[in-house]
Chains A and B, each alone.
Chain A
């Protein structure tokens, strides 16, 4: 039985989309991969919806905002149809992530639009943004000399990344979002000037507190990301050069703009500057945060990047479709999984062997499973982590493995990917997936199929019980008719291995229609 062989292959479309559900608007970018590998942006849209207002003030998303968010996503779905987009990466940041009822919201979106939203964490946001900024710079990396601060003031939080000569030195997420600041610290009863003053005070105190982690006074370059600051660049008519990836805003111009904007109501900004209502509501608060940070750095100017996290999403998605996973990102996932395995005192040698054998099998079977390189990465992470459950207890450790992984963060993987990894690792031994396994059944059909395909590999790899280095080196696989021929040098314990293989190859044979022969 070849389970859902075509799930991944049928989508040959070159169009892709990134959706970003933020605190005060939902944005979408649609692009396509050109033959030369570049991504051309086809559409960029934004609609306002005040998710953050509810979450930051009451801790949960209200009925009305959920409804409007779903309506917007439905409208976006229509647009995705225009371009026949099948690869969609939809993410939600703090406003949804922090809501106690985020699951309900995600489920409703899934039910009404079929879209699966990934909740992404601040480190994830930071990574995506940095990779977009990197790409936009091309080979003009001189801006990365010395210490560079990349900052995005969002609706819910501000995400800071510090680069040392271009390499990520650390990232930090602050509870300084434009929507959050307004919702938590102002009542709407103040004058604009009073509100701005309250927010300024709060921003300064938060920045004082993180000075030890983010050394603002040592920053040489300040790159600003975000819709609000891009808007500001436009309002100031910062020197526009289509070829340059940045618009430069001078410190004094920024301060002057804030003063000008403080005096105006959002409606006036919409009329006068043709801002969107979402931008008009947050721009000034966001600029106050940028300005406060800029004042603490060594630089006199803000380099406003033209890219956003969505560009990062698009770039990574394009790479995944093309099967060209960013090597460094993939390595980051492996490193993070290894660190997690180490934390739970896993036998790392054992783990690495299983990782390598699984990867080998994955590559050999690529035409059978038709899965992209991204899933190879998930499989490898599962192999590395398959024994973390032993930390709790050796009995039924695969079950402990499952919940330990599910509740962990792996840098570079989305929450739903981490969940897949947990499932693959869980089914590396004992019971096969069953309808009575609640967590398994809660996966979508597509995901269950993928879990089956990958668990079958890891199970077989485990059954081989390869432990010595020389065995690993000589290990060979070949497909002949309906058989998977396995050659292990040394011929030790052949009998034992055959019986182990017999017990654990049932799933493999079911999924791939191949009988392993040792």
Chain B
């Protein structure tokens, strides 16, 4: 193998460390004093759920690599083991910071009459109430496990909270120390509300169990107790043989996940480290990934408090989604899309029109067929209901259900079956490639002519996430684009083995080539007096070839402005290599999720939206779509969206050459991109609802 070019590895940041920096930005939102308490708590909760997934997938993968003895280095030049070492330390610091922030918020919440009562805080009467609660509600469902006496040893599932007790038992006249584990049953809420005057009092369920557990293990002395939580490897390696078997295989995988290796342990309380050390041994865990915590474990559960219906004054004010500006004057959506393309900017603009469109299509006799990709969809999805109804009404409904949506498999399987029962043609994607594109195609007959309507989005067809992810989508009946979408579905359904795309670019067929060509073209048309400009807004930038192309273009004078919410492996600001590259990241109330690309192209600018991030997996291992924006008005609007993102100085971080991020300082004029977008949406609706002040010919008035 060729030796790594140190110059090349210099411009790369390790992917995992870059992701951790993203989580750090989420954490910093949790520390932001100017935000309402429950909003801060939401971010702190997300830090935890993010980390869980990171460990179960990424760290687990690295551990597999490391234990397999792979010495392969990543583009930044690190081996798996070196990465694990760095991750262990970085996560340690992060968890400590997070715990501090959580404790601080809990204190503040108490001042606002929302009290989380730990064991030490209980009054006598409260203790009495909880003791009763334990006996009547909890005790019947608890299953204490004397681990050492069980053969084979039980498998504790990952992500579950457990209470561990170190007990002393008399055996043969000697005192023997033993461990009892009581899994916290998942059927209860994490926080039990108890009667309280003047305030809301919540008690963590694990505290109740720990306090009264001695009643279950009679005659034994509890020496110490602790709470702990394990994360296990969840890497799915599925042998895809036949698509039809996929469902049963996934169900198998969900089951098998329980028996995978432990990748992280968090322990809280316990006083001495006896329980922690015992667990590390028992789990055969890499000791670098055992963490002690001095706050509530599984902070993701704090979401339960955030989602309470009360305490509005501790939350952010609502920004209700507005009617999309392109649809303000629309009476008939079919007609509107025929007249002009429609650009949607969610969640500032409502996702409802899409739900309505599908509902309407299900009943519309002119609609012949509906094709749609469903990747992750919400519970009780109105979209799924519409598709069922459409099938019942005799329309040809084809739904691509992507089963490999990481942690939603069991839910996906359920509604996939439901759609099948309703008579939809359900397919499970192309072997070996995950379908990540979001596309909807409606085939309609209008006066004996077939017209096709496409909706192409950067976000999933999920009513819930459409309210909290920022995405853009295009609706069009441009015949080239709709034909391409049709071909795309043929590719998914295996109806065809040849495919010709005229306007869309599809991964893994031509996307890599196309993006590299676009960047390369920008480099070639760039001149010193008219330097090129590339702007890209995306979630992650990791692909090595694209990073190198960007660096090459940058060092030839092209200005490169990247707005990358999460992972960014391209290191900016290295003299002679990447000094022309600027990377910013926005973390705000909505998850930045849209992918928009701008190429100046010597004044003939081109703008694209896409379902794909610039990551190797998206470009080579997934089915994705790159969509050119044709309308000048929409190109301008998307360019404006990107411009405002770069101007943000309240929720924006700048990537430094050392790989860390610095929060932008608010200068004299405060700009908050997400607020600006919402104000735009609001202003457009207000303008439309004002009485019509448009110019009218005088002759008409005279006649009146």
A→B interface (CB under 8 Å): 12-15, 25, 32, 34-35, 40-48, 75-76, 78-79, 81-84, 227, 242, 274, 276-279
Whether B189 sits at the interface, judged by CB under 8 Å, is no
Chain B residues positioned under 8 Å from A12 (CB to CB) = 448
Task: Check A277–B497 contact: CB distance below 8 A.
Answer: yes
Task: Check B486–A42 contact: CB distance below 8 A.
Answer: yes
Chain A's nearest CB lies how many Å from the CB of B248? 23
Whether B215 sits at the interface, judged by CB under 8 Å, is no
Whether B160 sits at the interface, judged by CB under 8 Å, is no
Task: Check B500–A14 contact: CB distance below 8 A.
Answer: no
Instruction: Identify B445's interface contact among A25, A47, A84, CB under 8 A.
Output: A84
Task: Check B483–A82 contact: CB distance below 8 A.
Answer: no
Interface residues of B in 506-526 (CB under 8 A from A): 509-510
Chain B's nearest CB lies how many Å from the CB of A136? 16
Whether B396 sits at the interface, judged by CB under 8 Å, is yes
Chain B's nearest CB lies how many Å from the CB of A419? 31
Q: Which residue of A lies closest to B445 (CB)?
A: A84
**Known contacts A14-B448, A14-B450, A43-B486; A82/B368 CB under 8 A:** yes
Chain B residues positioned under 8 Å from A41 (CB to CB) = 483
Task: Check B497–A276 contact: CB distance below 8 A.
Answer: yes
Give CA–CA (A78, B479) in the complex, Å. Answer: 22
Give CA–CA (A480, B487) in the complex, Å. Answer: 55
Chain A residues positioned under 8 Å from B479 (CB to CB) = 40
Task: Check B487–A46 contact: CB distance below 8 A.
Answer: no
**Known contacts A47-B496, A47-B497, A82-B369; A42/B449 CB under 8 A:** no
B468-490 near A? 1/0 per residue, CB < 8 Å: 00000000000100010011001
Chain B residues positioned under 8 Å from A274 (CB to CB) = 509-510
Instruction: Identify B496's interface contact among A15, A40, A45, A81, CB under 8 A.
Output: A45
Chain A residues positioned under 8 Å from B495 (CB to CB) = 45, 47, 75-76, 79
Offer 14 A-B interface pairs, CB within 8 angstroms, sorted by A. Answer: A14-B448, A34-B449, A42-B450, A42-B452, A43-B487, A44-B487, A44-B496, A45-B490, A45-B495, A46-B498, A75-B495, A81-B369, A82-B369, A274-B510
**Known contacts A40-B479, A274-B509; A13/B448 CB under 8 A:** yes
Chain A residues positioned under 8 Å from B425 (CB to CB) = 78
Give CA–CA (A276, B450) in the complex, Å. Answer: 28
Task: Check B500–A32 contact: CB distance below 8 A.
Answer: no
Chain B residues positioned under 8 Å from A43 (CB to CB) = 483, 486-487, 490
Task: Check B497–A48 contact: CB distance below 8 A.
Answer: yes
**Known contacts A12-B448, A32-B449, A84-B445; A46/B368 CB under 8 A:** no
Chain A residues positioned under 8 Å from B369 (CB to CB) = 81-83
Task: Check A81–B396 contact: CB distance below 8 A.
Answer: yes
Name the residue in A42, A45, A227 with the highest tally of chain B Cβ atoms < 10 Å from its Cβ. A45
Whether B443 sits at the interface, judged by CB under 8 Å, is yes
Q: Which residue of A lies closest to B394 (CB)?
A: A81
Chain B's nearest CB lies how many Å from the CB of A19? 13
Task: Check B498–A227 contact: CB distance below 8 A.
Answer: yes
Chain A residues positioned under 8 Å from B483 (CB to CB) = 41-43
B416-456 near A? 1/0 per residue, CB < 8 Å: 00000000010000000000000000010100111010000
Q: Which residue of B lies closest to A279 (CB)?
A: B498
Task: Check A83–B497 contact: CB distance below 8 A.
Answer: no
Chain B residues positioned under 8 Å from A13 (CB to CB) = 448
Chain A residues positioned under 8 Å from B368 (CB to CB) = 82-84
Q: Nearest 5 A-B pairs (CB), nearest first?
A: A276-B497, A45-B496, A82-B369, A46-B498, A276-B498
Chain A residues positioned under 8 Å from B448 (CB to CB) = 12-14
**Known contacts A44-B498, A46-B496; A14/B486 CB under 8 A:** no
Chain B residues positioned under 8 Å from A25 (CB to CB) = 497
Chain B residues positioned under 8 Å from A15 (CB to CB) = 450
Name the residue in B452, B490, B498 with the highest tally of chain A Cβ atoms < 10 Å from its Cβ. B498
Chain A's nearest CB lies how many Å from the CB of B336? 21
Chain B's nearest CB lies how many Å from the CB of A282? 13
Give CA–CA (A48, B494) in the complex, Å. Answer: 11
Chain B residues positioned under 8 Å from A83 (CB to CB) = 368-369, 443, 450
Give CA–CA (A78, B490) in the complex, Å. Answer: 12
Task: Check A46–B509 contact: CB distance below 8 A.
Answer: no
Q: Which residue of B lies closest to A48 (CB)?
A: B497
Give CA–CA (A395, B24) in the complex, Å. Answer: 101
Give CA–CA (A44, B496) in the complex, Å. Answer: 8
Chain B residues positioned under 8 Å from A279 (CB to CB) = 497-498
List 14 additional A-B contacts (Cβ < 8 Å) besides A14-B450, A42-B452, A84-B368.
A41-B483, A45-B495, A47-B495, A47-B497, A75-B495, A81-B396, A82-B369, A82-B443, A274-B509, A274-B510, A276-B497, A277-B497, A278-B497, A279-B498
Chain A's nearest CB lies how many Å from the CB of B619? 14
Chain B residues positioned under 8 Å from A84 (CB to CB) = 368, 445
Give CA–CA (A227, B496) in the complex, Å. Answer: 14
Give CA–CA (A76, B368) in the complex, Å. Answer: 16
Chain B residues positioned under 8 Å from A81 (CB to CB) = 369, 396
Give CA–CA (A43, B493) in the complex, Å. Answer: 14
Chain B residues positioned under 8 Å from A34 (CB to CB) = 449
**Known contacts A41-B483, A43-B486, A48-B497; A78/B450 CB under 8 A:** no
Q: Which residue of A lies closest to B486 (CB)?
A: A43
Give CA–CA (A46, B495) in the complex, Å. Answer: 7
Interface residues of B in 639-697 (CB under 8 A from A): none
Give CA–CA (A14, B396) in the complex, Å. Answer: 19
Give CA–CA (A142, B618) in the complex, Å. Answer: 47
Q: Which residue of B lies closest to A35 (CB)?
A: B449
Give CA–CA (A165, B432) in the complex, Å. Answer: 52
Q: Which residue of B lies closest to A34 (CB)?
A: B449
Name the residue in B396, B445, B497, B500 with the highest tally of chain A Cβ atoms < 10 Å from its Cβ. B497
Chain A residues positioned under 8 Å from B486 (CB to CB) = 42-43
Chain A's nearest CB lies how many Å from the CB of B561? 31
Chain B residues positioned under 8 Å from A78 (CB to CB) = 396, 425
Give CA–CA (A12, B445) in the complex, Å. Answer: 12
Q: Which residue of A lies closest to B508 (CB)?
A: A274
Chain A residues positioned under 8 Å from B452 (CB to CB) = 42
Q: Which residue of B lies closest to A76 (CB)?
A: B495
Give CA–CA (A229, B280) in the complex, Å. Answer: 64
Name the residue in A76, A79, A82, A279 with the highest tally of chain B Cβ atoms < 10 Å from its Cβ. A82
Chain A's nearest CB lies how many Å from the CB of B247? 21
Chain B residues positioned under 8 Å from A44 (CB to CB) = 487, 496, 498, 500
Instruction: Identify B396's interface contact among A48, A82, A227, A278, CB under 8 A.
Output: A82
Chain A residues positioned under 8 Å from B449 (CB to CB) = 14, 32, 34-35
Name the residue in B452, B495, B510 with the highest tally of chain A Cβ atoms < 10 Å from its Cβ. B495
Give CA–CA (A276, B509) in the complex, Å. Answer: 12
Give CA–CA (A35, B446) in the complex, Å. Answer: 12
Chain A's nearest CB lies how many Å from the CB of B81? 33
Chain A residues positioned under 8 Å from B396 (CB to CB) = 78, 81-82
Chain B's nearest CB lies how many Å from the CB of A14? 5
Chain A's nearest CB lies how many Å from the CB of B363? 18
Task: Check A46–B443 contact: CB distance below 8 A.
Answer: no
Chain A's nearest CB lies how many Å from the CB of B352? 27
Give CA–CA (A242, B496) in the complex, Å. Answer: 23
Instruction: Identify B497's interface contact among A35, A46, A75, A79, CB under 8 A.
Output: A46
Give CA–CA (A79, B510) in the complex, Å. Answer: 26
Chain A residues positioned under 8 Å from B500 (CB to CB) = 44
Chain A's nearest CB lies how many Å from the CB of B193? 54
Chain A residues positioned under 8 Å from B510 (CB to CB) = 274
Give CA–CA (A228, B609) in the complex, Å. Answer: 33
Chain A's nearest CB lies how many Å from the CB of B451? 9
Q: Which residue of A lies closest to B491 (CB)?
A: A45
Give CA–CA (A279, B497) in the complex, Å. Answer: 9
Interface residues of B in 346-400 (CB under 8 A from A): 368-369, 396
Chain B residues positioned under 8 Å from A40 (CB to CB) = 479
Task: Check A32–B496 contact: CB distance below 8 A.
Answer: no
Give CA–CA (A47, B491) in the complex, Å. Answer: 11
B311-348 near A? 1/0 per residue, CB < 8 Å: 00000000000000000000000000000000000000
Chain B residues positioned under 8 Å from A276 (CB to CB) = 497-498
Q: Which residue of B lies closest to A306 (CB)?
A: B500
